[in-house]
Amino acid sequence: MVAILLLGASSGLPFNLTLSTLQAWLASAGVDIKTIGIFGLTGTPYLVKFLWAPLLDRYIPPFLGRRRGWIVIFQIALALAIGVMSFSDPKLMPRELGLIAVVVAVLSASQDIVIDAYRVDVIPPQQRALASAATSFGYRAAAMFASFVVINIAAFAGWHVAFGLVAVVMALMVFATFSSPEPLTPARPPRTLRDAVVDPCRDFLRQSGAWGFLLLVPLFKVGDAFALSLYSAFMIKGVGFSLVELANAGKLNMTISTMAGVAIGGFAYLRWGLYRSLAIFGVAQSVTLLLFVVLAFAGRKVWLLALVTTVDTLAGGMGQAAFTAFLMCLCTPNFSATQYALLSALASLPRVGMQAAAGYVVAAVGWADFFVITFLTCLPGLAVLFFLRERIRALDAREKAEAALAATA
């Protein structure tokens, strides 16, 4: 679990660096808003990382095994690339900075592929929700460092020093990978690149209920993604909170309560199992969206902002713990890099397209009705979950039986 936590931090560190933190650097340097908007495209590799995931399933580095070898390669490459970023100047070299930012994003997305696969390979079924909690703690702590802490360092020492510090921290992550354990039963890689592309899909579709699972993956968190896509805009433009109120009672609170929710969800999963956890947390993360309706009518009350954010993201974190465990159950160690990358990309689709749609919905019906609609979008996912309940229980039972057999062996 310590290894999973540290590798989660390794994933979270470069993510914000090429998004919100880079955006702050560009804005403080006086770069025009159109150019800053174009820089937002540097996040594209995270959405299409499944395209090169089969390569990481097929080929094995000559050191540290199938997963850890790739992780070390990407960590070293990320440290070097971020170091190059630290010497850039967004005003004088915007194109060069944009290119290296894309390189960092590609390397970061590639690292995520292998770390996700490593987590599938090394964690036994009964500990998967706990592994989700450890990943979330590490990821969010590092992401906060790469945004909040780095921006404060930049304010006093400059952006070059701030990005250089991140490069050093990224290099130190190599020691976490060296100390991480190998899977007890190493998986067999695909024999050819064609097998690495075709076999993961074929293997997944052999599962009972596979097509239903493919429907459930994007639907389970769709309401959450829809509601939170305009969270900041709602708090500022819809209710009238200041930036300070939003940062302290909203954003910081959201990070803490999400981490707490994932931890609670991980421990509850041990007691309840897969289906019961998905069902209870799925209902909770849906119903709590209606609290935003209360806030829309109540108006600017900071204590209510804190309460609504805490309860909603606590439930969302618990749902995330169970959902991550569910995605891990769907993957086979032989093809875990490709399968998890595909499933996580499918799960991300609603989040990617929701913000544009949400703006039109709010303009048409207003904030209160918008959040009622986000609640209604949760219902199809809950219906699919209920329909698949026996298959999910069978999936959970199969995973536990395999884990018990492996432990006996």
pLDDT the model gives residue 402: 64
Report the Cα–Cα distance between both ends of the chain, in Å, rounded: 22
Which pLDDT belongs to residue 134? Answer: 84
Cα–Cα distance, 165 to 85 (Å, whole number):
11
Task: Give the model's pLDDT for residue 356.
Answer: 60
Mean pLDDT by 10 residues, the chain (409 residues): 88 79 73 67 78 84 85 94 86 82 90 87 76 81 75 79 88 90 74 82 83 89 80 75 70 78 84 89 92 88 87 89 85 80 80 67 85 91 92 80 61
Domains of the chain (ranges; CATH) run: 2-189 (1.20.1250.20), 197-408 (1.20.1250.20)
pLDDT of residue 385: 93
Residue 348 and residue 310 in contact, taking contact as beta carbons nearer than 8 Å: no
pLDDT of residue 66: 79
**What pLDDT does 247 receive?**
65
Query: Is residue 190 within 8 Å of 333, Cβ to Cβ?
Result: no
